[in-house]
Amino acid sequence: MTKFRNLLQQSSNICRRPFFRVSTVRNASESAVLPTVLVEKDSHITLIGINREQQRNAIDANTAQQISKAISDFDADDTSPVGVLYGVGGSFSAGYDVVELEAEAERGSLDFLLRHEGSVGPTRRHLRKPIVCGINGFCVASGLELALLCDLRVMEDTAVLGFFNRRLGVPLSDGGTVRLAAAVGYSNAVDIIETGRRVYAREALRIGLVNRMVATGTALGQAVNLAFSIAKFPLSSLQHDRNAVLANANAYERPGFHAAVNNEIMNVSSAMITDMQEGVKRFKTSEVKGPKTDSWHIKEKSIPDWEKAEIAIEEEQKKR
């Protein structure tokens, strides 16, 4: 029995302790330089991990290319019916790397938004097979768009979602407007997109943005367990039913989906460059970054009063 299955079986209480530690997917020693994307196959499950922990798994161009390759390889692998996507360490992904975003803005370029498959992975196409996403910490901006690529999302009760790119003047370009509206409906989608606010686990579960809410530290293990439960079924009938669901969901119907995603890209204009330049400057001066990171640690003064109230309510609920 493989190491992941052993670790899954060793968990006596799936709601209180993680199934396995992230380090189990590492093929190299702790002292070695690891790639920014980790790929491991356990039995029939393919695990894909974003591995830029010091940057809260912010995705640069190189990492985006590796994510695209890893997901494309999984999608073409007929021996692996289900994948798991996760972030190494304390966050799933803080979105597109702000350092590269700043460089793009200074060059007056929007090329990173217009990459063929997507700025953070193969987000502008349908996948043949399901991926389960394990969400912890921050899953924001284009990191949330990447999570929306997955069929199922397992979110820890302390994790945070949101399109924080709104604060930087960066548009959604990785299918987020299409997939979010399909998942949570028009009203919820425009609320989340236009305000750029935080979305906590209870709300995300209630509106259908995520499928499971789990205890802190267990998202990856729960996602793997869910993937194994799906993988035991015959693949052909599963794919048939999955494709039927996609075809019947208006925004996910293939021609309509591609038209909607292309509309995202076509509406990206050079006028947004100025907004991006100013947004990055605000981020650099008004946001507090952790050591060696360019991530979302928001100063209290930068959070509107209504969002502070939401945070206070959420913190009070966690104590109960």
pLDDT (tens digit per residue) in 100-125? 877 776 776 666 666 668 889 999 88
Buried b (16+ CB within 10 A) or exposed e, 215-246: beebbbbbbbbbbbebbeeebeebeeebeeeb
Mean pLDDT of all residues in 233-245: 91
Evaluate the CA torsion angle 199, 142, 270, 261 in order and state its sign: negative
2 domain-assigned: no
- Mean pLDDT check: name the lowest of 90-99, 230-239, 300-309: 300-309
Q: What local confidence, expressed as pLDDT, does residue 305 receive?
A: 56
Give domain status of residue 191, yes or no.
Answer: yes
C-alpha span between 76 and 12 (Å, rounded): 35
Q: Length of the chain, please?
A: 320
What pTM, to 2 d.p., does this model score?
0.79
Would you state the pLDDT for residue 1?
Answer: 41
290 in a structural domain: no
Distance CA 279, CA 105 (A): 10
Residue 182 located in a structural domain? yes
Q: Which domain holds residue 260?
A: 37-285
Neighbours of 256 (CB within 10 A): 14
Q: Which range has highest mean pLDDT (83-87, 102-106, 307-311)?
A: 83-87
Residue 221 lies in a domain: yes
- Give mean pLDDT, residues 210-237: 97
Q: How confident is the model at residue 294 (pLDDT cuts 50, 70, 90)?
A: very low
pLDDT at 103: 77
Residue 224 within a domain:
yes
The verdict on residue 239 lying in a domain is yes
> If you average pLDDT over every residue of the chain, what do you get?
80
Name the most confidently modeled range: 15-29, 57-71, 168-182, 240-254: 57-71
Given a cut of 50, whether residue 203 has pLDDT beyond it is: yes
With respect to residue 301, please indicate whether it lies within any of the assigned structural domains.
no
Residue where the block lists tokens 């979305």: 199
Domain of residue 136, CATH code:
3.90.226.10
Total number of domains constituting the chain: 1
Percent of the chain with pLDDT over 70: 67
